[in-house]
Amino acid sequence: MKILLVGAHGTLGTAVAAELGARHDLVSAGRQSGDLRIDLTDSTSIRAALAQAGPLDAIVCAAGNVHFGALEDMTEDLFGLGLRDKLMGQVNLALLGRDALRDGGSITLTSGILTREPIRAGSSASMVNGAIEAWVRAAAIELPRGLRINAVSPGVLAESMPGYAPYFRGFEPVPAARAALGFSRSVEGRDTGKVYEVT
């Protein structure tokens, strides 16, 4: 398969690239690195990257930013970061990506454990992740041409713990390579409207 992997050089994306790249033709994309440049907050950038990628069998997104901060300090703009980037960035990638996918192709988005396990300073991430999962379930029943869509919801990555440990006390980290298996299930399986929890 020919797969567009957005966020291919991040912590999770690197593991996904290693997992899927062993069997498929990957086109890597990112804001600052990869075969193609893509900014999830800019629909024009998404359209341009998809046009350059050409016909695809799968689109995978392992990218998206949110702001971590105490609820009392959160503002509309701080919540807006996650809404514009991780949520609507992935939604727009999926919507615009439909026409780039061959019949029966798939889209895999990324949510995260904070949908079901909230933490202090994580209200934006919980909101965004929950919205991604709900949208994937809803979109799955309307996609045309046999297209499929799923989300992968990994726990906090072991490789990210040096920076995130203060937020995730008591959580058991997930190796990025294990989280990447969820993406294989989505891309290489036949499910649609699923959220693969990797903990």
CATH of the domain at 165: 3.40.50.720
User: What tens digit of pLDDT does each residue of 58-71 get?
Assistant: 999 999 999 999 99
- Structurally, the chain folds into a number of domains equal to 1
Q: Can you give the pLDDT at residue 176?
A: 98
Q: Containing domain of residue 20, as a range?
A: 2-198
How many Å apart are CA 75 and CA 34, to the nearest integer?
Answer: 33
Q: Can you give the pLDDT at residue 6?
A: 98
Q: Can you give the pLDDT at residue 63?
A: 97
Closest of 108, 101, 86 to residue 50, by C-alpha: 101
How many Å apart are CA 102 and CA 115, to the nearest integer?
Answer: 31
Residue 57: band (very low, low, confident or very high) from pLDDT cuts 50, 70, 90: very high
How many Å apart are CA 1 and CA 163, to the nearest integer?
Answer: 35
Q: Can you give the pLDDT at residue 135?
A: 98
- Mean of pLDDT over the chain: 97
